[in-house]
């Protein structure tokens, strides 16, 4: 019985270390949605839905993440999460992170956007904290445009 337990523990350990020794290519993370959460007079909270695309041939499991977002080159949102997640090798999955912004920063964004701003671009930076033995933080960074009036014309 003891030998079986040791063999099972070894199998689990080696399965969790399948990617050890292999370089981990950073996942691509896309901003999929922003929905309002709770808010107060001085703080706005939102849920960021992120899509993680894994370019590696092995699955990635994480035990937490951090994220910050800039809109039109101004810091706006930041958040952390201890939610765990997993994405299969060469696969993708969605997960949500709550982030917060100062109400004054949100108002500043709105005022700047109304002053003949032609587009709303974003930059998303963060890291996924991988699970398992020898876990590391895998950084990600992505940019995009949510709205561009020059394209609509």
pLDDT for 153 equals 53
pLDDT score at 100: 97
**Residues 94-153: pLDDT tens digits?**
999 999 999 999 998 888 877 766 788 899 999 999 987 667 899 999 998 887 776 655
Average confidence score pLDDT of the chain: 84
For residues 92 and 27, give the distance between their C-alpha atoms in angstroms, rounded to a whole number: 9
- List the Cα angle 97/101/107 in 5-degree steps: 140
Q: Give SS3 for 68.
A: strand
Question: Which domains does the chain carry?
Answer: 24-146 (2.60.40.10)
pLDDT at 151: 63
State the pTM of this model: 0.77
The stretch 78-84 carries a mean pLDDT of: 95
**Residue 124 token pair:** 């998303």
pLDDT at 11 over 60: no
């Amino acid at each position: 019985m003891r030998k079986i337990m040791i063999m099972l523990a070894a199998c689990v350990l080696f399965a969790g270390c399948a990617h050890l020794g292999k370089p981990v290519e950073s996942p691509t993370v896309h901003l999929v949605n922003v929905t309002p959460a709770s808010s107060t007079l001085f703080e706005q909270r939102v849920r960021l839905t992120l899509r993680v695309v894994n370019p590696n041939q092995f699955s990635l499991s994480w035990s937490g993440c951090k994220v910050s977002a800039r809109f039109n080159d101004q810091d706006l949102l930041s958040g952390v999460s201890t939610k765990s997640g997993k994405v299969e090798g060469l696969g993708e999955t969605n997960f949500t992170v709550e982030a917060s912004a100062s109400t004054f920063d949100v108002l500043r964004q709105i005022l700047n956007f109304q002053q003949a701003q032609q587009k709303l671009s974003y930059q998303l930076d963060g890291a996924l904290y991988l699970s398992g033995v020898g876990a590391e933080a895998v950084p990600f960074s992505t940019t995009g445009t949510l709205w561009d009036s020059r394209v609509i014309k």
